[in-house]
Amino acid sequence: MLSSPRCGAKTRRGTQCQAPAVSGKSRCRMHGGAAGSGAPAGNRNALKHGRFTKEAIDKRKWARLLYKQLVEQLKDY
């Protein structure tokens, strides 16, 4: 165990991680050596809520225009 290769990740202290690396990898299980670790493939962050899609922006513009027209009609009433 003591002679096994060590993880190459840098800790918050700035030193090298002292945990043993996962076999066949250069990182320990906590720093990305475990199976399934890491970010998912592709950038899915842009699809989080859809607030800034063209359709959503157009709907908000339409709602503002409708609101302005309503306020103008109420002023005349």
Contact 38, 29 (CB under 8 A): no
Q: Tell me which residue of 52, 24, 70, 68 sits closest to 5, measured CA to CA.
A: 24
What pLDDT shows up at residue 47? 67
Instruction: Give the residue carrying structure tokens 């306020």.
Output: 71
- Distance from C-alpha of 65 to C-alpha of 71, rounded to nearest angstrom: 10
Enter the pTM of the model.
Answer: 0.44
| Whether residue 25 has pLDDT greater than 70 | yes
Burial of 7: CB neighbours in 10 Å, binned 0-12, 13-18, 19+: buried
What pLDDT shows up at residue 46? 60
- Top pLDDT among 8 and 47 is at 8
pLDDT tens, position by position, 37-52: 766 777 776 667 888 8
